[in-house]
């Protein structure tokens, strides 16, 4: 009779009418309780209880049995509530729901401290008896590590180490700490940190560089539930309003973080992502050479609307770890901050050389005849391709058997082999298809999703697999032990594979091994991974709740990456849209789903550049967008030119119900618009891309060794010219030598370019120009403005490659 879900489905952006808001209130918040009854109910109310006292709150009817009860500002504490409804002579009462209201706690003074060879430990105190332990150490050259643990310090003897950290943390580096009447000073390689005893403000500087300074207030605030658990942490990073800030992972929109509030959470927003992203990072940096990494999997919110940056970590019960850890990085230049972050989170992995050629894909290639017709056409048209991605190949019941393949089902613990399958229908000869692709120099990548979907008809193999996975605990669970079923809109109600369980990984990938060992495929497109919602979720390794939501996408991709690299002897790769900290270890990535529009083209470039700030180097997007009607020849040509100078050059298109073909193949775009220029221009850039592969491979390797991405923002490579270069924020460096200036305006015939410091040579004409100036350059449809660093040792090779360019 009464329907109420306190947390809805825990979608962070979509609230339901039968949930409460806020889901996790703090002292002072007003509370809204939404619920449903039968439409015939005439009255409803809420009974709120605390410490034996009861309050009745009348509910207001909205429509069709939807009600809302409003409660004014709440005090901190533990409550319960029940919902009541009257329908004629009958009165109904809901189950009892718990409600915990958090209170703010703060520390603002140091009680005493202890110095050891690896840092400083302090006991902090604040009003109302608040206590916390602070540890300041060094995690890498130029990186200070701050750890804050709310709550009283454990008892200790005088000869024990500090309460925040006994002995050296793993990875801690030696440092020298001195104390005086005003505070403490820590010195180590590449940094000097000063903690003011009166203000509890920590300033970390790089010796000899006064501008590379990050200041954090450790007069910390956190929000504590009645049982002592931390709901969320709050941290303030002091910042000059005039300095620009960048990062937080892959971000679609204007460059820079200023003026907005950003969520750091993995989320799928299908197209028009705005401030949401598949690939967030709790890491940002300043143009002045400092950065902050929050070492957490919990969702975070970064408010960059003012001068100071206000950061909240957590915000849902069970989401914030007790300990807050921040790494404060100071370096000589912004991309050195990126390199330090990469050094802390894992080296940039390199893809196989073949991945640097042109890719081809379409969701409508859902049978062997259509797929191979596209491959044969690209050969016949002299359009190079080195990678074929096939998305619509599997039965989407097992996700490891080809559609229309016949076989005798095996037990859920067992696996099928190629010899067990009888092929026909849509995919009559997968082995012959893969062999033909390989003979043509085209590698094959198959699509994957980490779920066991819910089917509405019997399927013997799927049912056996599901039964085995449930029996062995191979899927993500709720805290009560019941299996989680996807609450998102894509593959709703599916079980979700648990990649943290070694046995589950072995079982899952054993079923897919024949695709590599017997068919000879070369990689997997690891789609999805964003649809874990729920604070009570549990993985095999103990990760829980909304922290698991962020970490899952990366754990899933890493499991596939390890499998693919092992199965191919290191000559394979994954292709992913979602991830988290450490994504640079698992190439490659693409920017997810986008419309075929000029605006999507522009924001996708910014997505690649912002992802690169966190070390994500091997990245791309779907040329001219994958969704909607076939793009215009102009948009297709302009985005093809940009993709030629992008780590991954791929066209792709969505599944659709239109009667006409919407593939983004260059010949289809040309035919649909009766304009052969689309094919001629794509062919020319694909051929140029092949001539650039050696350069790309060398640059990817050289920059990875430095901890830097292939695509970089000129304003952060030359921070001394930051403001001038930000006037041309859509241009970027590709490798160490190329300045790429995409044409993003419809109908443009020329493009203003801001040249960075140094001397630059036009790739197409060989003309030389001094930098630090604006230059208006011609931009005919077939040509993208590109400049080569005049001092480049590859100048001659690059100019020679361009001389072979011909849009025929």
Residue that is written with structure tokens 């709703």 in the block: 492
How confident is the model at residue 158, as a pLDDT?
38
pLDDT tens digits, one per residue of 514-561: 999 999 999 999 999 998 888 899 999 999 888 898 999 999 999 999
CA 324, 183, 141: angle at the middle one, nearest 5? Answer: 55
How confident is the model at residue 171, as a pLDDT?
59
**Catalytic-labelled residue, pool 10, 18, 297, 530:** 530
How confident is the model at residue 165, as a pLDDT?
37
Nearest to 298 by CA among 273, 279, 317: 317
Q: What is the mean pLDDT of residues 1-19?
A: 94
Token pair for residue 158?
A: 């005088």
pLDDT tens digits, one per residue of 20-43: 999 999 999 999 999 999 999 999
Q: What is the DSSP letter of 52?
A: T
pLDDT tens digits, one per residue of 755-766: 999 999 999 999
Reported as a pLDDT band with limits 50, 70 and 90, residue 169 is low
**Catalytic-labelled residue, pool 123, 250, 593, 728:** 593
Burial category of 97 from C-beta neighbours within 10 Å (exposed 0-12, middle 13-18, buried 19 and up): middle
Reported as a pLDDT band with limits 50, 70 and 90, residue 614 is very high
**Catalytic-labelled residue, pool 527, 594, 737, 762:** 527
Nearest to 692 by CA among 586, 606, 786: 786
Share of the chain above pLDDT 90, in %: 90
How confident is the model at residue 166, as a pLDDT?
35
Q: Is 562 a catalytic residue?
A: no
How confident is the model at residue 804, as a pLDDT?
87
Reported as a pLDDT band with limits 50, 70 and 90, residue 339 is very high
**pLDDT reading at 154 higher than 70:** no
Reported as a pLDDT band with limits 50, 70 and 90, residue 167 is very low
The rounded Cα 680 to chain-centroid distance in angstroms is: 35
Q: Is 530 a catalytic residue?
A: yes
Q: What is the mean pLDDT of residues 277-296?
A: 97
- Are the CB atoms for 134 and 164 separated by under 8 Å? yes
**pLDDT reading at 291 higher than 90:** yes
pLDDT tens digits, one per residue of 642-681: 999 999 999 999 988 778 899 999 999 999 999 999 999 9
Q: Is 593 a catalytic residue?
A: yes
**pLDDT reading at 333 higher than 60:** yes
**pLDDT reading at 568 higher than 60:** yes
pLDDT tens digits, one per residue of 177-197: 999 999 999 999 999 999 999
Reported as a pLDDT band with limits 50, 70 and 90, residue 392 is very high
Q: What string of H, E and C letters represents the secondary structure of 249-296?
A: ECCCCCCCCCCCEEEECECCCCCCCCCCECCEEEEEEECCCEEEEECC
Phi and psi for 644 in degrees, rounded to 5? -60, -30
Reported as a pLDDT band with limits 50, 70 and 90, residue 318 is low
Q: At how many degrees (to 10) do helices 666-673 and 677-705 cross?
A: 150
pLDDT tens digits, one per residue of 543-552: 988 889 899 9
How confident is the model at residue 162, as a pLDDT?
36
Token pair for residue 95?
A: 């189950």
- Are the CB atoms for 420 and 408 separated by under 8 Å? yes
Token pair for residue 767?
A: 């003309």
pTM of the model: 0.96
**Mean pLDDT for all residues in the chain:** 94
How confident is the model at residue 163, as a pLDDT?
35
pLDDT tens digits, one per residue of 228-245: 999 999 999 999 999 999
How confident is the model at residue 657, as a pLDDT?
78
Reported as a pLDDT band with limits 50, 70 and 90, residue 311 is very high
pLDDT tens digits, one per residue of 774-784: 999 999 999 99
């Amino acid at each position: 009779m009464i329907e109420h879900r306190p947390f809805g489905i825990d979608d962070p952006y979509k609230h339901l009418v039968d949930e409460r808001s806020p889901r996790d209130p703090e002292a002072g918040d007003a509370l809204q309780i939404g619920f449903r009854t039968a439409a015939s109910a005439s009255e409803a109310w809420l009974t709120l209880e605390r410490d034996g006292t009861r309050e009745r709150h009348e509910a207001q009817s909205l429509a069709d049995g939807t009600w809302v009860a409003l409660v004014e500002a709440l005090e901190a504490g533990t409550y319960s509530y029940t919902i009541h409804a009257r329908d004629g002579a009958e009165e109904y009462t809901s189950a009892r729901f718990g409600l915990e209201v958090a209170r703010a706690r703060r520390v603002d003074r140091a009680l005493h401290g202890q110095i050891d060879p690896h840092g400083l430990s302090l006991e902090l105190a604040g009003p109302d008896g608040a206590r916390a332990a602070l540890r300041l150490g060094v995690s890498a050259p130029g990186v200070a590590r701050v750890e804050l643990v709310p709550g009283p310090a454990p008892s200790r003897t005088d000869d024990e180490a500090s309460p925040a950290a006994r002995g050296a943390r793993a990875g801690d580096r030696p440092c020298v700490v001195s104390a005086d009447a005003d505070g403490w000073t820590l010195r180590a390689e590449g940094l000097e940190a000063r903690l003011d005893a009166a203000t509890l403000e920590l300033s970390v500087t790089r010796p000899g560089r006064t501008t590379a300074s990050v200041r954090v207030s450790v007069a910390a605030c956190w929000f504590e539930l009645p049982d002592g658990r931390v709901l969320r942490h709050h941290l303030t990073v002091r910042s000059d309003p005039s300095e620009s800030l960048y990062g937080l992972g892959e971000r679609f929109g204007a460059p820079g973080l200023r003026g907005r509030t950003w969520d750091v959470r993995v989320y799928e927003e299908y197209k028009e992502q705005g401030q949401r992203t598949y690939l967030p990072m709790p890491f940002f940096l300043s143009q002045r050479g400092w950065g902050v990494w929050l070492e957490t999997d919990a969702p975070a919110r970064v408010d960059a609307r003012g001068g100071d940056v206000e950061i909240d970590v957590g915000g849902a019960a069970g989401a914030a770890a007790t300990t807050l850890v921040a790494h404060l990085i100071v370096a000589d230049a912004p991309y050195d901050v990126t390199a330090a972050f990469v050094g802390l989170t894992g080296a940039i992995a390199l893809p196989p050389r073949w991945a640097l050629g042109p890719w081809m894909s379409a969701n409508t290639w859902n049978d062997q005849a259509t797929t191979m017709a596209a491959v044969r056409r690209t050969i016949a048209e002299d359009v190079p391709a080195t990678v074929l991605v096939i998305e619509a190949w599997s039965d989407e019941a097992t996700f490891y058997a080809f559609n229309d393949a016949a076989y005798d089902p095996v037990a859920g613990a067992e696996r099928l082999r190629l010899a067990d399958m009888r092929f026909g229908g849509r995919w009559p000869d997968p082995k012959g298809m893969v062999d033909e692709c390989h003979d043509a120099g085209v590698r094959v990548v198959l699509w994957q999703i980490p779920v066991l979907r819910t089917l509405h008809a019997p399927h013997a193999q799927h049912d056996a697999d599901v039964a085995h996975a449930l029996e062995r605990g191979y899927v993500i669970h709720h805290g009560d032990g019941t299996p989680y079923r996807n609450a998102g809109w894509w593959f709703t109600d599916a079980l979700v594979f648990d990649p943290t369980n070694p046995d589950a990984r072995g079982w899952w990938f054993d079923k897919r091994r024949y695709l590599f060992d017997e068919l000879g495929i070369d990689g997997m497109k690891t789609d999805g991974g964003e649809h874990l919602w729920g604070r009570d979720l549990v993985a095999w390794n103990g990760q829980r709740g909304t922290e698991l939501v962020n970490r899952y996408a990366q754990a899933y991709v890493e499991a596939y990456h390890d499998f693919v690299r092992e199965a191919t002897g290191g000559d394979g790769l994954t292709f992913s849209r979602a991830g988290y900290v450490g994504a640079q270890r698992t190439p490659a990535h693409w920017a997810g789903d986008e419309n075929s529009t000029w605006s999507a083209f522009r924001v996708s470039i910014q997505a690649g550049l912002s992802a690169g700030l966190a070390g994500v180097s091997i990245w791309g997007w779907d040329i001219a967008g994958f969704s909607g009607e076939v793009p215009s020849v102009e948009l297709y040509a302009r985005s093809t030119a940009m993709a030629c100078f992008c780590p991954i050059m791929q066209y792709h298109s969505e599944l659709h119900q239109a009667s006409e073909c919407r593939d983004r193949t260059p010949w289809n775009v040309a035919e649909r618009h009766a304009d052969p220029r689309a094919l001629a221009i794509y062919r020319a850039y694909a051929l140029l891309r092949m001539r650039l592969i050696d350069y790309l491979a060398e640059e990817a390797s050289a920059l990875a060794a430095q901890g830097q991405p292939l695509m970089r923002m000129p304003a952060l490579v030359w921070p001394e010219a930051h403001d001038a270069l930000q006037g041309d924020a859509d241009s970027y460096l590709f490798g160490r030598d190329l300045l790429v200036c995409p044409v993003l305006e419809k109908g443009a015939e020329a493009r203003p370019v801001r040249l960075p410091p140094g001397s630059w040579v036009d790739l197409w004409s060989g003309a030389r120009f001094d930098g630090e100036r604006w230059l208006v350059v011609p931009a005919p449809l077939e040509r993208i403005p590109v400049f080569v660093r005049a001092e480049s040792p590859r100048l001659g090779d690059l100019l020679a490659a361009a001389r072979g360019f011909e849009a025929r």
